[in-house]
Amino acid sequence: MFEFMRSPLAKGIISALISYSAHYTATKAYSTACVPDGVYGFLQGLVTSGSPVCQVGIQVMTATQVSYSTVIMMGISRLILDTVAPSSEGVKTPSSEGVKTPSSEGVKTPSTNPSNTKQET
């Protein structure tokens, strides 16, 4: 079970659940504390919606909405990319097969230090 939680899919689902839960909680708290239902809630909202607590509630709702929609969009994008271009896991690259590259062979590049160049006078 814990191995599953390390997978990118599980991390995405957990992120979405945490973000949505925070958004839902902030929305319900804002609705209850700042703008309750009914005529009394309308009148109370005239006074309370500008309070610092209610402003923080709005900011939390905005931030969690952006976070949740970003997680959803990234998940959809990942599904599309995995469908169009499947993962390259298990594909060996030249560096993984022991092929020597110029940097691994110790090839030195010419120095660009101005003190090493001769100036003609």
Residue 120: inside a domain: no
Buried b (16+ CB within 10 A) or exposed e, 30-60: beeebbeeeeeeeeeeeebeeeeebeebeeb
Give the total number of structural domains in the chain: 1
pLDDT tens digits, 17-46: 999 999 999 999 999 999 999 999 899 989
Please give the DSSP secondary-structure letter assigned to residue 89.
T
Give pTM, 2 decimals: 0.61
Residue 105: inside a domain: no
Domain that holds residue 32: 4-87
Q: What percent of the chain has pLDDT over 90?
A: 37
Q: What is the largest CA-CA distance in the chain?
A: 92
